[in-house]
Amino acid sequence: MREEDRVKDTRSGTDVPLSDESVDVEVHERSTVYRGAVWDVVRESFDLPEAGGALTRDVLAHTGAVAVAAIDDEDRVLLIRQYRHPIRMRDWEVPAGLRDIDGEDPAVAAARELGEEADIRAEEWHTLADMYTTPGGSTEIIRIYLARGIDALPHAQRTDRVGEERGIVVRWTPLAEAVDAVLAGSIGNATACLAILHADRARERGWTDLRPVDAPWPGSRV
């Protein structure tokens, strides 16, 4: 292949591996421009070779989060509905929460959120999907776990919900119905959409080729 053809192909992506690539960039300056109750906004100046010079970007420094696609023996997915103030809606979601406890294993955090938001526990856990929610402006990474072998959480282990979570509605929904709702636009929560579609595909494959629960966590540098 001629060099000029190789460059053209690289720019079109035809000979670039179909896998996200971690990149080390030299950061010249870094400062916190806003410190919030849950997350901060960080300003960084850095060099990027293809940009031909220095760039400055404001980034939402997020703790990261976990979510759970809980599937029962009838191939139903557990969905919860709760109020989300930024969008002024009660949207359908899967159980999820921030990684805001120092040192807590993400899989442990996922099991905790499943218990706190839906009063259930699971025996089988796998990594289902990873998602960069807003890569152009936020460091947030959400890992979605697949949970099976579902059982009710003992009453002694249940916690009282507070705030918006007091209004949570829990619904077990056949996967096919949930997929239809996603494709029809009736469910707009991105994490729920990804969890439902991944879970449906995993079911079609007979729950094979699943990643282990302790698969390496995608990195974040901010």
pLDDT given at position 17: 85
Task: Read off the pLDDT of residues 40-92 as tens digits, 9 standing for 90 and up.
Answer: 999 999 998 888 889 999 999 999 999 999 999 999 999 999 999 999 999 99
pLDDT given at position 119: 94
Residue-by-residue DSSP string for 93-149 = E-SEEE--STT--HHHHHHHHHHHHHSEEEEEEEEEEEEES-TTTB--EEEEEEEEE
CA gap 76, 175 in Å, rounded: 5
The active-site residue, picked from 26, 164, 165, 177, is 165
pLDDT category at 105 given cuts 50, 70, 90 is: very high
Task: Read off the pLDDT of residues 188-219 as tens digits, 9 standing for 90 and up.
Answer: 999 999 999 999 999 999 999 999 999 998 86
Region 3-28: what's the mean pLDDT?
73
CA gap 10, 1 in Å, rounded: 12
CA gap 94, 82 in Å, rounded: 10
Per-domain boundaries in the chain? 23-61, 65-212
pLDDT given at position 50: 86
Residue of higher predicted confidence among 43 and 38: 43
Instruction: Tell me if residue 29 is catalytic.
Output: no
Residue burial 41-72, b: 16+ Cβ < 10 Å; e: rest: bbebeeeeeeeeeeeeeebbbbebbbbbbbbb
The fold adopted by the segment(s) 65-212 is Nucleoside Triphosphate Pyrophosphohydrolase (3.90.79)
Region 124-144: what's the mean pLDDT?
96
Region 108-137: what's the mean pLDDT?
96
Region 121-127: what's the mean pLDDT?
98
Query: Are residues 86 and 164 in contact, defined by beta-carbon separation less than 8 angstroms?
Result: no
- pLDDT at residue 4 tops 90: no
DSSP state of 11: H
